[in-house]
Structure 1
């Protein structure tokens, strides 16, 4: 796995996004592939140079934590094939998950201002339903509240993304409001649901 593991659980390791060809390929796939970008609200095309600029801007920025989500090596999950940019090596461009580790998705904590931050995540479809998102969110929330000493973490979910709404509720997030027709994605205006979680609520919760 390139880069160093930043947070690790039983099922998943979270490591920083790097300015490497495999990482840039994954980001390019997510921001340009119609089946992925539309669900995430990316409407305009992202060139490789724009992706490089994005990575260059977030790497030194401590107010934005951007991590790839990689299943641990002893899991029994799909690894993809040689055409899958989530499982290619920097050297050869061929599938070699022992060298690079599979990228199952990403999780981000951004707009960190000393008291609050915003969390988001995505997973490739073949890695959903295995508990990776739940563990990744738990690891990042522990980091946000215990290490960064944030008081509040926020999240936004588009209308129709019931799996994310269920995950946030299970982790203790409270639905705080709805912005009607606030986002245009997948060809329609959609409501945006705002969620919030306070440090005492996370500390005193029953473990998800």
Structure 2
């Protein structure tokens, strides 16, 4: 098992990454099928993965990153609440990001992990807003966000250059009162 269970959701557990997760994270983050859904374009190194061990990372450890595990305790992905922008902590917002291993796509893990992490953000981190973005061509990720109640806020046209072409990025947001149904 990865680090101890930190959060439990519908058919998933979210755990801090430990040394046993390094190969899984490197393998899948370097998988071209996963990379094409993300803005990260450089190869993932062991040092990059090691920086995420323990569940917190980034500036002053305000970003939370957890391994997504299925009911059989198999690692299937990674989910983040990024708080790296200079005002993120003070303005009480985070950016949700996630990926799931290609062989486990379309099994509901992205939705379950994202929902669990968003709930943690609003309930435990006292966030006011969670934002997310996805490439316009990534309809599966857009469906995940929309299932969770995220509102489409706009399109940043040709914002990301990847694989020799420009891609639009669709931006989403979810406010605390929307999450709570107020």
Same-fold call, TM cutoff 0.5? yes
Shift of 1:166: 1.3
Match of 2:74 in 1: 102
Q: How many residues align?
A: 176
Asked if structure 2 preserves the Cα contact closer than 8 Å seen for 1:10 and 1:72, the reply is no
Asked if structure 1 preserves the Cα contact closer than 8 Å seen for 2:94 and 2:130, the reply is yes
Match of 2:89 in 1: 113
List alignment gaps of at least 5 residues for structure 1.
Answer: 74-100
Q: CA RMSD in A?
A: 2.2
Which runs of structure 2 are paired with 1:138-149 in the superposition (5 Å)? 138-149=115-126
Shift of 1:47: 3.0
In the alignment, the residues of structure 1 paired with residue 60 and residue 67 of structure 2 have an alpha-carbon distance, to the nearest angstrom, of: 16
In the alignment, the residues of structure 2 paired with residue 202 and residue 29 of structure 1 have an alpha-carbon distance, to the nearest angstrom, of: 34
Asked if structure 1 preserves the Cα contact closer than 8 Å seen for 2:34 and 2:99, the reply is no
Asked if structure 2 preserves the Cα contact closer than 8 Å seen for 1:119 and 1:155, the reply is yes
Aligned-partner SS, 1:163: helix
Shift of 1:62: 3.6
Is 1:124 the counterpart of 2:84? The answer is no
Shift of 1:54: 5.4
Asked if structure 1 preserves the Cα contact closer than 8 Å seen for 2:33 and 2:102, the reply is no
Aligned-partner SS, 2:22: helix
Shift of 1:59: 7.9
Aligned-partner SS, 1:30: helix
Match of 1:181 in 2: 158
Closer/same/farther in 2, CA of residues 126 and 45 from structure 1, 3 Å limit:
closer
Which runs of structure 2 are paired with 1:180-199 in the superposition (5 Å)? 180-199=157-176
Closer/same/farther in 2, CA of residues 13 and 55 from structure 1, 3 Å limit:
closer
Q: Which has the higher strand share?
A: 2
Aligned-partner SS, 2:74: coil
In the alignment, the residues of structure 2 paired with residue 172 and residue 31 of structure 1 have an alpha-carbon distance, to the nearest angstrom, of: 27
Bigger-Rg structure (1/2): 1
Aligned-partner SS, 2:137: coil
Shift of 1:4: 0.7
Asked if structure 1 preserves the Cα contact closer than 8 Å seen for 2:37 and 2:134, the reply is no
TM-score (norm 1): 0.76
